[in-house]
Homo-oligomer: A and B are copies of this chain.
Amino acid sequence: IVTQHTAVNGISHRGRVLTLDSMNPNVKRVEYAVRGPIVQRAVQIEKELKEGVKKPFTEVIKANIGDAHAMGQKPITFFRQVLALCSYPALLEDSKFPEDAKKRAQRILEACGGHSIGAYSTSQGIECIRQDVARYIEKRDGGIPSNPDNIYLSTGASDAIVTILKLLVCGEGRDRTGVMISIPQYPLYSAALADLGAVQINYYLDEDNCWSLNITELRRALNAAREHCNPRVLCIINPGNPTGQVQSRQCIEDVIRFAKEEHLFLMADEVYQDNVYAEGCQFHSFKKVLFEMGPEYSNTVEMASFHSTSKCYMGECGFRGGYMEVINLDPEVKAQLIKLVSVRLCPPVPGQALLDLVVNPPQPDEPSYATFMKERTAVLSTLAEKARLTEQIFNTVPGITCNPVQGAMYTFPGITLPQKAIDKAKELGLVPDMFYCMRLLEEDGICLVPGSGFGQREGTYHFRMTILPPTDKLKVVLQKIREFHLRFTQEFS
C-alpha cells in the first residue's frame, strides 16, 4: 500500500522503507531546543576551533544545559568514593577509604543480586534504596509519612515523567487527554506530549511578577482547552525551569485546590528542590502542602513528584539517577505501572546507588561529614552568588530585563529586539531569538537557548542561560552578552 516506486535512469527503484514521509508523524512533531540546532552548531564550531579555524574567540562556552560537571564543578568526594567501592569491591580492603564510605558501599552491595551492581535490580528499584528515599522525604516534609511502595526509581527524572504521562494519555478527538504545562516550560514536556500525541495546554507564567503562577490564568487555559480536549493533567515545575522562580506556599495551596476542583492529576517536577537562593524564598514540596491541607485533599488528590541526581549540589547528570513518589495512585494502576517499567528491566544500578547517597548523605557523627558539608555548602553558596550576579549585570543592560534567579540553575531574561532585526530574522527563515542567539554564538562563542524553545508570549523574546559557568567565566560571559546586545541593537536600529 505504501511501497514507493521511483524511476531513476529508466530503472524502477523502490524507495526506502523508512523515510521522513513514512515515519511516525508524532516523532516528527517532537522538538527539543536544549539540544537543538544551536547546540549542533556549537559542536561544529568547537570542531572548527580544534582544526585551527580562526574565530573571534578561543572556546565555546555552553550555557545551554544544566550540566554542572561539564562547567567544572567537582563531584562530591564521598559519593564518588562509595561508587568506586561499589564498582570494584576489592577496594573495601583499602585503608585509604573512610569507614562510612565502606559501610555505605557494603550496604548497597548487599542489596544487589550476587552483591554486584552489575546485576539487574527489581524494576521499581532496589528496595533498601526506596526505603532510604522514603525516609528522606519524611524528613524533608517534617514527618509526613512516605511509603517505599510509592517510590519508583528511574533513569533520571525524564524517564519517570514520560512514564506517568504515558499512563495518562488516551482518548481520541475531543476526548484526547490534555496536559497543562507552563509557558515557558522545560521542553521535555512538549516533546513527550508530541510523542504521545497528547494535547498540550499552555498556561502562561506572569513575567511581570517574577514568573509566578496565577490561578486565573490556569482557569482561563483550562476552560479554553475544554472546548477541544479532555484536560486531565497539570504539570508544575518548582523551582522553575527555565524561569528560576520559586513558588510560595500560598501558590502551591491554590494549585492543589484548583487540581482538586478541576479533577486534574498533578505532576510536580521538583528536581531543583535544593537549589533555592533568594532571601525569603523557601522550597515547599507539593506533598507536604497537600498533607497540611487535610484529609479532604491528602486522601483524594492524585499526584506524582519527581526528583533527580542531576541537579542540586551534586550535578551528577551522567549517572541518570532519579525517583518519583506517587500519591493516591489507584492500586490497579500501580500494578500497571510496575508492569510497564518491568519491560525496561531496571534503572541503571550505579545511578540507583548514587541516589541512595543523595538521600542518605554522611551524618554528623561520621568521618566524611565535615568534608561533605564543606563541599556541599561551597557549591550552593557559589550558585547563590552567581544567581545574584546574573540578575544584577543583566539588569544594567538597556533592552534586557531579568527577573531574580530565586532558584534552579537558569535565568530567562526578556530581550527587546529592534524591528529591523526581527525583519532580518524572518528574511532568513529564523525565529527572531534564534537569530539573536546564533549571532551571539558565531561572534562570541557563547551558546544559549532561544526563548522560543521554551515558549513565550507572542511578540516577546528571551533566552535561557545557565548560571553554571565558574564565577570568573560567568562574569566574562555576562559582560560579553552585554556588549553583544548593545552592538546587536545598534546594528539593527
Residues in A lying within 8 Å of B, measured CB to CB: 1-3, 14, 16-20, 22-25, 27-28, 30-32, 34-36, 43, 65, 67-75, 80-81, 83-85, 87-88, 91, 94, 96, 112-114, 116-123, 155-156, 158-159, 166-171, 174-175, 187-188, 191-192, 195, 230, 232-233, 263-265, 302, 314-320, 328-330, 332-333, 336, 339-340, 342-351
**Interchain CB contact (< 8 A) of A318 among B23, B43, B117, B166:** B117
Can you tell how many copies of this chain the complex includes?
2
CA distance A316 to B195 in the complex (A): 31
CB<8 Å pairs between A and B, sample of 17: A2-B232, A17-B233, A18-B330, A19-B333, A20-B330, A23-B336, A24-B167, A27-B340, A35-B123, A69-B113, A70-B116, A71-B114, A80-B88, A87-B350, A156-B345, A318-B348, A320-B347
Q: Is B116 touching A32 in the complex (CB atoms < 8 A)?
A: no
Residue pair A333, B65 in contact (C-beta under 8 Å): no
Query: Of the candidates B72, B316, B336, B340, which one forms a contact with A20 in the assembled complex, judged by CB atoms under 8 Å apart?
Result: B336
A351–B125 Cα gap in the complex (Å)?
Answer: 17
Closest to A336 in B: B27
A222 CB to nearest B CB, Å? 13
Q: Which residues of B contact A192 (CB under 8 A)?
A: 343
* Nearest opposing residue in chain B for A80, CB measure: B88
A317 touches B336 (CB 8 A): no
Residue of B nearest to A35 (CB): B342
User: Shortest CB–CB separation between residue A63 and chain B, in angstroms?
Assistant: 13
> Which 5 pairs from chain A and chain B are nearest by CB?
A70-B113, A318-B349, A84-B88, A69-B116, A35-B342
Given the interface pairs A22-B170, A88-B81, A188-B343, the reply to whether A175 lies near B119 with Cβ below 8 Å is no
User: CA separation between A25 and B72, bound complex, in Å?
Assistant: 46
Give, as a whole number of angstroms, the nearest-CB distance from A492 to chain B.
Answer: 31
Task: Determine whether the beta carbon of A170 is less than 8 Å from that of B25.
Answer: yes
**Contact pick for A28, options B158, B336, B345, CB 8 Å:** B336
List chain B residues, Cβ under 8 A from A170.
Answer: 22-25
Nearest CB in chain B: distance from A79 CB, A:
9
CB neighbours of A317 from chain B (8 A) = 118-120, 345-346
Q: Which residues of B contact A74 (CB under 8 A)?
A: 116
Complexed CA–CA distance, A14 and B188 (Å): 31
Contact among B23, B123, B330 for A19, CB-based, below 8 A = B330
Q: What is the CB-to-nearest-CB distance from A87 to chain B, in angstroms, rounded to a whole number?
A: 4
Q: Which of A25, A30, A70, A187 has the most CB of B within 10 A?
A: A70
Decide if A18 touches B348 in the complex (CB within 8 Å).
Answer: no
Q: Please state if A119 and B232 are interface contacts (CB–CB under 8 Å).
A: no
